[in-house]
Amino acid sequence: MTIQLTYSGNFEDISSTSFQEKLTQIRENLHQKVGAGSDFLGWHDWPSNMTDAFLNEMKETAQKIKSTSDVLIVIGIGGSYLGSKAVMEALSSYFKASSGVEVIFAGHHVSGEYLANLMEYVNDKEVSINVISKSGTTTEPALAFRFLQTYMEKRYGVDAASRIYVTTDAQKGSLLHLATEKGYQRFEVPANVGGRYSVFTAVGLLPIAAAGYDIQELMRGAKNAEAFYGTADFSNNTAMQYAAARNFLYNKGYEVEILATFDAKLSFVQEWWKQLFGESEGKEGKGVFPASVSYTTDLHSLGQYIQDGRRFLFETFLNVQKVQTDLTVFEAENNGDELNYLAGLSLQEFNKVGYEATSKAHLDGGVPQLALTIEKLDEYHIGELLYFFMISCAYSAYLLDINPFDQPGVEDYKTNIFKLLKKPGY
Ligand code: PA5
């Protein structure tokens, strides 16, 4: 099953000739690699161009990491960590360790306490590091790596170099120079793939494979998605329809999209999605603001606002049809909790009812709604979903006449930090 889209509004509005014509042109531009930001379209046909040799290199390196380490510290921020984190969270058991190494992220914020606690935690474990930064100059991961590199050198001496893997640009950046000088094994972030579109490159694949997940299946999902959601046939292209619906609602004044799930394992897919859409579309005073909620947890918090607050929101439910494990409510002898009326209902069935009830309530409250449904959480379907969102995002940003692949706004805060800290040259 491919990703299904349902829409509470009138499908005729989003199937209008004008949307179809615009999206057909956008699709054509993506295929021809022309249009704003076209230097960064490497992700678009990446899945279909991926070679077995590349996948094998990822798997072999992951195997080496697994055979020498208990923990892999992945250092990166933004697109250099959210994709792999999203995949791992979606696929892992809540409590049981995966079949690979334990992956711990660092450098995605600045905290001395976090780094100190991390070094303490890994002290009695064998450690490898994968430091990931396309630019090779981002401060947060660079700072974390400064501490962790020194930690590794103190702990492993000259052998530290064989435990440090660097994923960065092939031509430039301080990290590249450091890696070359120290002889670390290097993987390339292709120059034509931006951070938030890089999950299927070594940026995402190496940590995901090291964590024990099947990257071949992930890429099979992405490759099929490239074909499904790249079709010129609007009526069969859910990604185009999703982009059209977002644009239609945005132009009607619904400027905030809430991605809602009933599956806590999707919480980092939501974080990744927020970065993807927020950084791609939020420019030139335009763009849908991406937010997220996790139900039923947030029905006891933001649910109130969604039901009754300002009417500028639309909600996109991300539903998963089948769960891996479920529990069924049983009849209790002493019905002290008064839940016997639920006997025979599984918790997944409860969530499906929760979805139906929430969807109706929010619709009645004036929140337009979309729903995207995927079959299950496995490598194949997550690969398909992430690619689906990437291409939807490109369609959506281009509908707003926005270049989806740059992020000029994130420079402003950096410049201020550098000035305040008197970085040479600022
Ligand atoms: O999507 C993007 O390009 C950004 O979010 C980057 O991924 C993020 O800023 C990290 O950059 P870098 O990989 O250069 O350290």
Best of 74, 80, 168 for a ligand 1 pocket test (most atoms within 8 Å of beta carbon): 80
* Both structure tokens of 317: 């439910």
- Percent of residues, the chain, with pLDDT higher than 90: 93
pLDDT at 99: 87
- Find where tokens 């994130």 sit: 410
Residue range 6-16: mean pLDDT, rounded? 86
Indicate which CATH number applies to the domain containing 85. Answer: 3.40.50.10490
Residue 282 lies in a domain: yes
Q: Band the pLDDT of 95: cuts 50, 70, 90.
A: very high
Q: Are residues 153 and 201 in the same domain?
A: yes
Same domain, 145 and 19: no
Residues 392 and 307 in one domain: yes
Residues 82, 178: one domain? yes
279 is catalytic: yes
For the question of whether the overall pTM of this predicted structure is more than 0.95, the answer is yes
Instruction: Work out the pLDDT band at 414, boundaries 50, 70, 90.
Output: confident
Ligand 1 neighbourhood includes 75 CB (under 6 angstroms): no
Residue range 45-94, pLDDT digits in tens: 999 999 999 999 999 999 999 999 999 999 999 999 999 999 999 999 99
CB 366 within 8 Å of CB 355? no
Quote the percentage of the chain above a pLDDT of 70: 100
Is 364 among the domain residues? yes
Report the chain's mean pLDDT, rounded to a whole number: 96
Residues 260 and 280 both lie in one domain: yes
- Tell how far the Cα of 138 is from the centroid of ligand 1, in angstroms: 8
Same structural domain, 323 and 174 = no
Q: Over range 396-424, report the average pLDDT.
A: 93
Region 102-106: mean pLDDT is 98
> Is pLDDT of 44 > 90?
yes
Q: Which string of DSSP letters, residue by residue, matches 44-110?
A: TTHHHH--HHHHHHHHHHHHHHHHH-SEEEEE--GGGTHHHHHHHHHHS-SSS--SSPEEEEESSS-
Nearest CA residue ID for atom 15, ligand 1 = 133
pLDDT band at 100 (very low <50, low <70, confident <90, very high): confident
Q: How large is the ipTM?
A: 0.98
- Residue 80 resides in a domain: yes
pLDDT at residue 150 is higher than 80: yes
What is the distance in A from the centroid of ligand 1 to the CA of 76? 8
Question: 57 with 132, same domain?
Answer: yes
Nearest CA to ligand 1 atom 8: 78
β-partners of residue 373 are 4, 319
Residue 414 is among the residues annotated as catalytic for this protein: yes
In this structure, is residue 151 part of a structural domain?
yes
Task: Pick the catalytic residue from 172, 274, 352, 414.
Answer: 414
Is residue 313 within 8 Å of residue 256, measured between CB atoms?
yes
Indicate if 153 and 238 belong to the same structural domain. no
Confidence band for 9, pLDDT divided at 50, 70 and 90? confident
Across 38-47, 324-333, 415-424, least confident range: 415-424
* 229 and 152 both lie in a single domain: no
Among residues 213, 239, 255, the one where a domain terminates is 213
pLDDT value of residue 330? 97
Q: Are residues 23 and 131 in the same domain?
A: no
Same domain? For 198 and 69 the reply is yes
- Looking at the fold, whether 190 and 157 belong to one and the same domain comes out as yes
- Name the residue range of residue 18's domain: 4-32+219-399
Instruction: Say if residues 263 and 30 touch (Cβ distance below 8 Å).
Output: no
The answer to whether the CB of 194 is under 6 A from ligand 1 is yes
| Mutation choice for ligand 1 from 40, 75, 77, CB with most ligand atoms inside 8 A | 77
pLDDT at 369 over 80: yes
**Position 152 in a domain:** yes
User: pLDDT tens digits, residue range 237-263?
Assistant: 999 999 999 999 999 999 999 999 999
Residues forming beta bridges with residue 318, ordered by sequence position: 261, 372
Compute the distance from residue 312 Cα to the ligand 1 centre, in Å: 30
State in Å: Cα 358 to ligand 1 middle: 36
> How would residue 266 be classed by pLDDT, with cut points 50, 70 and 90?
very high
